[in-house]
Amino acid sequence: MNDTFFSIVNSGLLYIMVGIVIAFVVFLSLVFAKKAWKRAIELGYTKDQLLTVIKSTSIATIVPSLAIVIGLFALAPVLGNPWPWLRLSVLGSVTYELMAADMAASSMGVPLTDLPTVGIDAFVNIMFVMTVGISAGLFVLLFFGEKIQKGIGSMGKNKQSFGIVALECFMIGLLATFLPAFFTKGIVSVLTFFTSTVITISMGLIVLKYKISWLKDFILAFALIGGMASSVLWTGLLG
Domain ranges, ordered by start, for the chain: 1-138, 159-239
Position 5 scores a pLDDT of 86
Q: CA 48, CA 156: separation in Å to the nearest integer? A: 35
pLDDT value of position 202: 94
Task: Determine what percent of the chain is predicted with pLDDT higher than 90.
Answer: 22
pLDDT at 38 over 90: yes
Residues 6+ apart with CB under 8 A from 143: none
Please say whether the beta carbons of 79 and 126 come within 8 A: yes
Report the C-alpha gap between 102 and 83 in whole angstroms: 15
Contacts of 79 (CB under 8 A, 6+ apart): 9, 101, 115, 123, 126
Q: Where does residue 46 fall: left (phi above 0), alpha (psi -120 to 50 degrees), or beta otherwise?
A: beta
- What is the structure's pLDDT at 19? 93
Tell how far CA 129 is from the center of its chain: 15
Place 13 in a pLDDT band, splitting at 50, 70 and 90: very high
Residue pLDDT, tens place only, 99-156: 888 888 888 888 888 888 888 888 888 888 888 877 777 788 888 888 877 777 676 5
pLDDT grade, residue 159 (50/70/90)? low
By the 10 Å C-beta count (0-12 exposed, 13-18 middle, 19+ buried), 102 is classed as buried
What is the share, in percent, of the chain residues with pLDDT greater than 70?
Answer: 91
Q: How confident is the model at residue 30 (pLDDT cuts 50, 70, 90)?
A: very high
Q: What is the pLDDT of residues 40-95, one digit of tens each?
A: 999 999 998 898 888 877 766 776 677 788 788 888 888 999 999 888 888 767 77
Burial class of 37 by CB neighbour count within 10 A (0 to 12, 13 to 18, 19+): middle
DSSP code for 118:
T
Q: What is the DSSP letter of 158?
A: -
Task: Provide the pLDDT for residue 53.
Answer: 84
From residue 158, alpha-carbon distances to 20, 114, 131, 170 in Å are: 46, 50, 37, 18
pLDDT for position 161: 63
Question: Contact at 8 Å (CB) between 162 and 47?
Answer: no
Residues 78-92 have pLDDT tens digits of 899 999 988 888 876
The C-alpha atoms of residue 76 and residue 171 are separated, in whole angstroms, by 30
